[in-house]
Homo-oligomer: A and B are copies of this chain.
Amino acid sequence: MKGIGTPVLVINFKNYEEVFDSGAVELAKAAQKIQKELDVAIVVCPPNPCLAEVSKHVHVPVFAQHVDLAKPGSSTGAIVPEVVKSIGAKGSLINHSERRLWASEDIKSRVDRLKSIGLISLACAQTPEEVSEIAKFGPEWLAVEPPELIGSGKAVSKVKPQIVTNSVVACRKANPNVKLLCGAGIVTGEDVAAAVKLGAKGVLVASGIVKAKNWIKVIEELAVPLA
């Protein structure tokens, strides 16, 4: 096991019906099975209400899908980073295109807060320009995802390779410590291999895995090029 090394396969469960009920735990277990078999880094991002439960059931790193900035204590309803950590999660997505933050300060504040308590930030960007801006805040990982390809089944690494290449360059220039991932439309092992060839340190996948009929099979297919 490489810990949370790279290249990494990050699985965003979103709030798909496929992970309702006990689905989130089952999908995380499928990920764990492949992680062990292939010795490849995999991160799972279950719906936030499932964070503690999934963390208890698997050893693969669990990330929140979003965190608020509210403090522990009197902050009813907030997703507090310290709570997220205490129940075993290892990090959080930030600024996913379905949970865009309206200001760069909102992203920076979250990266700083997570870092200060030992959690990992996986920030999201929609364009190479945003990669440049957000990389400066120093998240451990930064995923570029063109929104029009999300859920499309057309992989960014195949149909818009220039966006990945430009993002890799922009990221290295802005902050060489940040690892650039890519996402959107990734459904096959070939898509993943193409992403790695373009310089990405991993991929962020949602519907391509969550909506597949055989979770173990598709995770394996996507993980092989990263092993």
Give me the interface of A with B, judged by CB distance under 8 Å: 12, 14-17, 20-21, 24, 45, 47-54, 56, 64-66, 68-80, 82-84, 86-87, 89, 93, 96-100, 102-106, 109, 113, 126, 146-148, 150-151, 206-207
Given B75, B83, B100, B147, which contacts A49 in the complex, CB threshold below 8 Å? B83
Question: Are B150 and A148 interface neighbours, CB within 8 A?
Answer: no
User: Could you write out 8 A-B pairs with CB less than 8 Å apart?
Assistant: A15-B75, A15-B78, A16-B73, A17-B72, A24-B87, A51-B52, A76-B206, A77-B96
CA distance A77 to B99 in the complex (A): 6
Question: Are A76 and B99 interface neighbours, CB within 8 A?
Answer: yes
Given B21, B79, B84, which contacts A87 in the complex, CB threshold below 8 Å? B21
Question: Are B50 and A76 interface neighbours, CB within 8 A?
Answer: no
Question: Are A73 and B15 interface neighbours, CB within 8 A?
Answer: yes
CA distance A69 to B82 in the complex (A): 24
> Which B residues are in CB contact (< 8 Å) with A207?
74
Q: Which of A21, A64, A98, A151 has the most CB of B within 10 A?
A: A98
> Which B residues are in CB contact (< 8 Å) with A74?
14-15, 98, 150-151, 206-207
> Which B residues are in CB contact (< 8 Å) with A104?
69, 71
**Nearest B residue to A160, CB-CB:** B148
**Nearest B residue to A163, CB-CB:** B148
Given B78, B102, B109, which contacts A70 in the complex, CB threshold below 8 Å? B102
**Nearest B residue to A151, CB-CB:** B74
CA distance A151 to B126 in the complex (A): 14
Please give the distance in Å from A183's CB to the nearest CB on chain B.
11
**Nearest B residue to A21, CB-CB:** B86
Given B56, B68, B83, which contacts A103 in the complex, CB threshold below 8 Å? B68
> Which B residues are in CB contact (< 8 Å) with A99?
76-78, 102
